[in-house]
Structure 1
Amino acid sequence: MAEPAEPPYVRIAAELSRRITDRELAPGDKVPSTRQVAQEFRVALATAAKALDVLRAEGLVITRPRSGTVVAPRRGGRAGEPAAELTRERVLAEAIAMADAEGLESVSMRAVAGRCGVAPMSLYRHVEDKQSLLLLMADGVYGSAEFEVDGAAPWRSQVESIARRLWRLHRAHPWLGAISPLTRPLPLRNLVAMGDKLLGALEALALPPLLHFNVHVLIYSHVVSLASTIDHEDAAVSETGLSADEWTDLQWIQHRVDERFMAELPHFARLFGRLGAMADGYDMDLDDLFELGLGLILDGVEALAQRTAGSPELYRETTPETPPGAPVSDLHVVLGATGAIGKAVTAELIARGREVRAVSRSAEGPQGFRADITTAEGAIAACAGAAVVYQCAQPPYAEWAQEFVGLTDTVLTGVEKAEARLVMADNLYMYGPVDAPLTEDLPYAADFPKGRARARVAEMILNAHKEGRVRASLGRASDYFGPGGVSTVLGPQIFAAAAAGKTARWVGEPDEPHTVAYLPDLAAGLVALGEHPKADGYAWHLPAGPPVTGDEFLALVWKAAGGRPRSASIGRGAQRLIGLFNPVVKELGETWYQRDRPWVADDTAFRAAFPDHVKVTPHEEAVAATLAWFKQRV
């Protein structure tokens, strides 16, 4: 019986293997493409592809970006040659070389170990896992570049130098952008250091802060987006065996000679038609495109810097809902305008020249507007036509748990109907007991009725923002004092008493630091949130002065009051006793955790986001102004 014929792809694979073994094709040489194999051996493309797959399976060839399919490096060194010591530096060097040659997807712990000639587990003594390996690779590449510039050189020369070095780096290592994409940048030390130098080079333009940072992001994105095409092209070459020019010619040559097709594209025809200026085709040069784009960006930045010089309002922070140039109402509505915070916010808005509607049940003052915002109809009427609504209204303290959620629901209805932004005057109750400085990312852990109510209110507002019903932010403050602050724990117990020459009493442990907010500063912080759409969607701790102990605060009060100091503190036992006769003091029992330990609100986030809108009056000045107001009422 005759033996079965050998399949053609096996015969072809054997011949190509012989050429590799006999070094007719040396390591790194390009292997004939699928088309070339098909033509040489007179077989179908599928048969040629199958032959090359056999060589890949045997490890004789590899697919390498920018080269296509090439002969694989020979394994092992010379006989008796000692293996190089395995170090983190060697691991990273091999991994980077692999990513450069074969693409990031080729990098794995096993593959890198193979290049190093060691078992895969050996790598774990030097890098924790693949993700750590990738981050170390990227940071190492950025660290290998020299981004230092002459600080005395013109700003444009400095920026061009940094951008060109970054371009060369990404040109050589196009996988870099995939590890730290523009929208999810990683804190790679050397990448951030490069960004810092770029920001420094741009400082000479004196751009507004947000524009300054955005320009630095734009320059980085110009480099990364162009370099990413190299990575995509490498993959396409590996897959098709065609260069970009060859592929483009195959796709478009028939259309360029099709007069009917070109007739529908007159502008393309002028360029690429038979008589067009680019009839011979278009050769894309990424380096030329990079230089063109960089020049256009910097020309535009320079022009914008000249326009915004002395006029930062020409570059305003906007949101998709408030595009540049869109007509926007300037009406600012204050709900609860007769309360201490509402009055302070109204005064701050008037001082800034804003159109104000001060909403309350009594409609006090020239800006007064009467409405019952506990009903949907009243809230809609109160908010109608508003650009920003400041929610400073609240139920009686003892009724928070029963009424605050319902009030918030009607307010959200009014704000949503008006398509306005909402700023909520909030406090710190939702966090519950905390033994460290309070930050906005703390969980809502309050386990008492008022705290749970405040947590629910905050969740309602932020959820309404996430759902797209309203655009909202929350400004949070600790215990406050100031002119008009008659219903706070600091007002009657301290300022009213001192103004009348009576004993001023600090509620809580007198030697524990406590954040206190001054009403005008608190109001300025809320208005800043109302003026900046980027505040939307978040809770913010409003700026306040440094924490003070009860003893320190009382000393400031009596320094302003003059005369013999008369001070005392109300401890937990006294609070319970006084609470039998004083309902306000009685309610303080469930928040005593704020008074028997440090209670410090961290306002770092606000200060970082709105550095030009931080208003903090020195405690001594704030206490004196508050006491003067209370003395006028004695």
Structure 2
Amino acid sequence: MSKIALFGAAGAIGRSIASAISAQGQHYRVVGRSEETLRQTFGADPRAEIVSWDPDSPASVEAAAHGIDTLIYLVGVHYTRFELHPELMRKTLAGAISAGVRQILLIGTVYPYGLPQTTPVREDHPRAPHTFKGRMRKAQEDLLMQAHTEGRIRAAVLRLPDFYGPGVEASLLHGAIKAAAQGGTADMIGPLDRPHEFVFVPDVGPVVAKLVGTPAAFGKIWHLAGAGVTTQKALVAEMERQTGRKLKTRVVGKTMLRLIGMFNPVMRELVEMHYLQTQPVIMDDSALQQLIGPIEKTSYADGIRKALMG
């Protein structure tokens, strides 16, 4: 029987984690709203147990968590509905605890930190979100860690920076990678010359697989940093070097996002998070490396090459 469940498994990070768990010879459960999507994504892996759920139904949540020891939480919401994050976490926690789940790992973001007060940012950096999305993500984390403090379940958070990789569409770099591989113009959010970091999605899975098997990981928040500090401009240059042709770009800043947002709700939602383009949160993951050992990180040159290959 599967002892590890990935709730919200069908995204890029979920696929990476599932691949790492399967490579260890372990069975795992993938949980999502669409059974059809789950079967398309994981149906070829005999180690994958496919379960659909309705996160608004307590009985469905408990059934999806039944028999599970470790729950990895990747549940996403539409970018215009971030108020759902705490609500879904509350419902999932209740069902998981009722089902006897022993521990839960949330794959989180840098949003709860708000404006960075140091560079790089360590795990003890204040969580002082100044955006709605940051407050909702902080509320989600607070529910989880409160449950740990109260002894109802063991909990931890792994924060990730922006990510990219083969077939990863929900990436700041997706437009550039697609245009570099197929031609056309890359729509990008600028400025492109500010420091940034990205994690290569296939590198995430092995870290998570190791983390959930480390008892000392729980009760804390951890960082997984990217493969060093870079810029979008440098990565575009790397794409040009590898393809041998100039990449056409169309770069929008905060003012243009606000104008486009008058007609496009998703673009409107990007405005408040634009500070991450000008005052980026660069993470220090030395604590994680001390906990689980050296972390293998794909270089940006290799990551871009693999992403361009699709």
* Higher RCO structure, 1 or 2 (CA under 8 Å, sep 6+): 2
The number of aligned residues is: 298
- For structure 1, list consecutive stretches of 5 or more residues without a partner in the other structure: 1-328, 630-634
CA gap 1:377/1:557 in 2 versus in 1, 3 angstroms: farther
Structure 2 residue 215 is matched with structure 1 residue 508? no
Task: Give 1:438 shift.
Answer: 1.7
Task: Give 1:580 shift.
Answer: 3.4
Structure 2 residue 267 is matched with structure 1 residue 585? yes
CA gap 1:353/1:541 in 2 versus in 1, 3 angstroms: same
Contact 1:495 1:626 in 2 (8 A): yes
- The two structures, once aligned, show a CA RMSD in angstroms of 1.9
AA in 2 matched with 1:477? L
CA gap 1:391/1:624 in 2 versus in 1, 3 angstroms: same
Matched position secondary structure for 2:274: helix
**Percent same amino acid at aligned positions?**
29
Structure 2 residue 252 is matched with structure 1 residue 570? yes
AA in 1 matched with 2:22? I
- For structure 2, list consecutive stretches of 5 or more residues without a partner in the other structure: none
Which of 288, 291, 297 does residue 609 from structure 1 map onto? 291
CA gap 1:554/1:599 in 2 versus in 1, 3 angstroms: farther
Give the match for residue 439 of structure 1.
Answer: 122
Question: What does residue range 94-173 of structure 1 map to in structure 2 within 5 Å?
Answer: none
Question: What does residue range 324-339 of structure 1 map to in structure 2 within 5 Å?
Answer: 331-339=3-11
Structure 2 residue 125 is matched with structure 1 residue 453? no
Contact 1:475 1:542 in 2 (8 A): yes
Which of 384, 396, 399 does residue 81 from structure 2 map onto? 399
CA distance in 2, matches of 1:375, 1:560: 49
Which of 462, 473, 486 does residue 145 from structure 2 map onto? 462
Matched position secondary structure for 2:90: helix
CA distance in 2, matches of 1:484, 1:496: 9
Contact 1:332 1:389 in 2 (8 A): yes
Contact 1:478 1:516 in 2 (8 A): yes
Using the size of structure 1 for normalisation, the TM-score is: 0.45
Using the size of structure 2 for normalisation, the TM-score is: 0.90
Which of 346, 351, 372 does residue 23 from structure 2 map onto? 351
CA distance in 2, matches of 1:358, 1:546: 31
CA gap 1:598/1:425 in 2 versus in 1, 3 angstroms: closer
Say which is worse superposed, 449-458 or 340-349, in terms of deviation.
Answer: 340-349
Higher strand share: 2
CA distance in 2, matches of 1:435, 1:551: 24
Matched position secondary structure for 1:591: coil
AA in 1 matched with 2:12? A
AA in 1 matched with 2:131? F
AA in 2 matched with 1:341? I
Q: Which runs of 4+ in 1 moved over 4 A?
A: none
CA distance in 2, matches of 1:627, 1:398: 30
Give the match for residue 302 of structure 1.
Answer: none
Give the match for residue 226 of structure 2.
Answer: 544
Higher helix share: 1
Matched position secondary structure for 1:399: coil
Contact 1:526 1:542 in 2 (8 A): no
Task: Give 1:598 shift.
Answer: 4.1
AA in 2 matched with 1:358? V
AA in 2 matched with 1:434? P
Deviations 1:46-65 (A, max 9, x none): xxxxxxxxxxxxxxxxxxxx
Deviations 1:111-136 (A, max 9, x none): xxxxxxxxxxxxxxxxxxxxxxxxxx
CA distance in 2, matches of 1:582, 1:592: 16
CA distance in 1, matches of 2:61, 2:112: 25
CA distance in 1, matches of 2:172, 2:304: 15
AA in 2 matched with 1:410? K
CA distance in 2, matches of 1:461, 1:598: 26
Task: Give 1:378 shift.
Answer: 1.6
Matched position secondary structure for 1:513: coil
Give the match for residue 72 of structure 2.
Answer: 390
Contact 1:438 1:600 in 2 (8 A): yes
Which of 523, 527, 550 does residue 205 from structure 2 map onto? 523
Give the match for residue 12 of structure 2.
Answer: 340
CA distance in 1, matches of 2:213, 2:129: 31
Question: What does residue range 49-60 of structure 1 map to in structure 2 within 5 Å?
Answer: none
Deviations 1:128-163 (A, max 9, x none): xxxxxxxxxxxxxxxxxxxxxxxxxxxxxxxxxxxx
Give the match for residue 561 of structure 1.
Answer: 243
CA gap 1:331/1:456 in 2 versus in 1, 3 angstroms: same
Which of 483, 489, 492 does residue 166 from structure 2 map onto? 483
CA gap 1:420/1:560 in 2 versus in 1, 3 angstroms: farther
